[in-house]
Structures are given as C-alpha cells and as structure tokens.
Amino acid sequence: MVTASLQARPFDLPTFDLPTFPTVADFEQSIAPPRGETVTEVAPDVVRVVVPVPFRGLGAVNCYLLRGADGWTVVDTGLQTPDALAAWREALATLGLQVGDIAQIVLTHHHPDHLGFAGRLQAQASAVRKGNVPVWLSAREQEIVGIVWTDRRERNAATETFFARCGLPDPAAANFQQREVDGMRQALEPFPETFRTLVPGATIPLGAHTFEILLTPGHSDGHCAFYDASDGLLLVGDHVLPHITPNIALWPDVEPDPLGRYRASLHALRDLEVSLALPGHGGLLRAWSQRIDELLAHHDDRLDAMHRAVGDGATVFEVARQVFRTDRLDRHQLRMAVAETLAHLEHLVATDRLRREEPGTDEHAPWIYHPTP
C-alpha cells in the first residue's frame, strides 16, 4: 500500500439538493451494479470501486484504482453525491489509503457519472500532496465540458430548436428545466482546475501498467480506452458494456455520424487480444470479440427497424415512437430516445439508405426522412 508520509485528510462534500435523473442506455433493458462488495481487486494491483449514481437504469458506475510505485491512479470518479462519497470513503478505508495517495486521475469521457468527482478529488489530493494532481482527458472531451456546462443559455436555445427539428410536439418541454441543470452542475463543481491532454496513440503509465491510449468515439466524441497489450488488459469505459448497448446519440454539439464512427471503432478493436476488459458499468468482460459482434448485430437490426419505420417519410420523433416504447418514457428518457434515433437515421443517410428533407428557413419545422430509390 502507498500510504507512507502523506497526511490524512477526509473527503469533503458540499450540501445541495440533487434531483434524481433517470437515464437509459437501451430503453428496454436495465443494468444493476455488479454483485458483491463495493471494492474488488479485479487484476493484480487493479481495484474496481462500484460507485452509486442517481440514474435509473444504470445504478452505479465502475471506477478503478491502479497501484503504482509513486501513488494510485483513479480511472473515472462517479458523481458528487452522498452515496458516492460513502463508496469512495469505503474504498480508501478498505485499501488503507488516504486521499493524498492519489497521484493522478484519468477520465475516459466527459459524462457526469465519470467526470463528476474529479475536480473535488483533484483539489483535495493536491492539497495533501502539496502539488498538482493531474486530471487527464482527451482534447475533444475538454472542449465538450466547456460547451455543455459553461454556456448553458446558448446551448438550451440550440437544444430546443434541435427538438423542433426532430418533430417533437412540445420541444420546450423536452428540454431540461433550469432547476435540474443547476442541480447537476452542483454535482460536478468544482470542475478540475486544469486538464492534461490524452493523446490517442501515445502511452500513459497507470499504476504499474503502461497503457496505449485508444480513441474510441461513438458514446462520446473523444471517448478514450486504455490497452495494455502485455497482459491483454483493457480499460474500456462506456465504449463496450457487457449487458446493455451504450447510448449512441446525435446532439447539436456532437460531431457528424456518431454511429458510423462507433461502428468503425468496434471493427478496429474487435481483434485486439483482450483477456479482461474493465467496463464503466456492469460486470467484467472476457468474451471480447463475441461482445463486439453482438453490438454490431444489434445496430444492424436497429438500423433495419428504423429504415422500415420511415415508410414513405417520417420525422425523427415518428420513428422513435415506433422503435422505442415512448409511451413508457419520461421526458429525460424521451430526449435520449430521440437523439439515439437521430444518430441511426443520420447513419442511414450517410450510407445512402435514406435522404433527409430540409425544412427551409423555419427553425421549428421538422426534418423529414425518406427512403432512397
């Protein structure tokens, strides 16, 4: 254990009201936290910490601690909630660690259940170590942090227009309420003071391992995974999950054709020699190539279903209502269903199976998708 001479200092957590945000990854499935204890050694010097999150359908995020000679690396952090704080305190106590034993923090992507605790953890570990504890994130994900959480007023207006283009009958109601945005922001603040940039293709030491940084877009534009070829260990974040399909969605600030980029990444990673993949949610993943084949087949089926649902012409919302059981979805789930539907429809456009009819200058007129001849 790396506990040496670092002064003990507990985690602190501000008091605020956090609304419960339901979310879905595949809308008809849910994923429970892995059974067992919060803290589990899953490989030599690699510990999984199961951190609760207030998102229905997920339940928990898997964070990882990797032991090195100069301290521990944290991979993903969870959201700042009392339950998450309790999980991290349990993890440090179980391992005999103090917050100052954390030498660096590495984030697979910017989503709040992975980023949320990073700033506070950085601040407290840095104060104990009397030096900056770096937080690593890809350049594109750093950019998205600013877009999503800094200039909310402009983004809210763009998102309302986006839902109108998708054909929702009440695009304003589909957008987040300001109270919910403020509550989520409080569960992320303070943001990391600075980031260091993950560069795909480079290597990074995480604990006692040296990993290659892999760009794995789709779930998020700049999502990164980490591969140690010497022992077949892959920290895969939310790119490949064992029991549900990652949400692949197209939002106003997302780069074009996320599903196309996701599928290309799956094909590129399929033949990696992976003995153990450590995902961001769910249990450990060993049947690597098989799971990728399942995900590719799932999206093939989903693309075919959406192509059929377009008929002679349809809006995004009309297709979503046919493919997903939207009568069972609340406002938040509906947002995600629509954004995932759009990602699939745009991939069908990119592959010349559909064409998109532009609505002209009326920003509240919907896109209409039609089959190509």
Q: How much is the pLDDT for 44?
A: 94
Q: Coil, helix or strand for 121? A: helix
Q: Which tokens in the block code for residue 69?
A: 């000679």
By the 8 A CB rule, do 58 and 281 touch?
Answer: yes
pLDDT digits (tens, 9 = 90+) for 93-109: 999 999 999 999 999 99
For residue 254, give both structure tokens.
């997302």
Domain assignments of the chain as residue spans, ordered by start: 39-144+184-294
Structure tokens that stand for 305 in this block: 């279903």
How sure is the predictor about 148, in pLDDT bands with cuts at 50, 70 and 90?
confident
> pLDDT confidence of 189, banded at 50, 70, 90?
confident
Tell me what the mean pLDDT of segment 25-37 comes to.
Answer: 42
- Residue 328's DSSP bridge partners are none
Question: How buried is 226 (Cβ within 10 angstroms: 0-12 exposed, 13-18 middle, 19+ buried)?
Answer: buried
Assign 330 a pLDDT band (cuts: 50, 70, 90).
confident
Confidence of residue 171 (pLDDT cuts 50, 70, 90): low
Mean pLDDT of 125-135: 94
Compute the distance between CA of residue 125 and CA of residue 147 in angstroms, rounded to an integer.
Answer: 27
What pLDDT was estimated at residue 53?
85
* Cβ 358 vs Cβ 367: under 8 Å: yes
> What would the pLDDT profile of 203-256 be if each residue is shown by its tens digit?
999 999 999 999 999 999 999 999 999 999 999 999 999 988 999 999 988 999
What's the whole-number average pLDDT of the chain?
Answer: 86
Eight-class DSSP state of 298: H
State how far the alpha carbon of 21 is from the alpha carbons of 120, 174, 333, in Å: 21, 14, 9
> Residue 27 has what pLDDT?
29
How far apart are the C-alpha atoms of 124 and 21, rounded to whole Å?
A: 27
CATH of the domain spanning 39-144+184-294: 3.60.15.10
Q: At what angle do helices 331-350 and 258-269 cross, to 10 degrees?
A: 80
Residue 103: strand, helix, or coil:
strand
- Under the banding of pLDDT at 50, 70 and 90, the label for residue 147 is confident
Span 133-146, mean pLDDT? 96
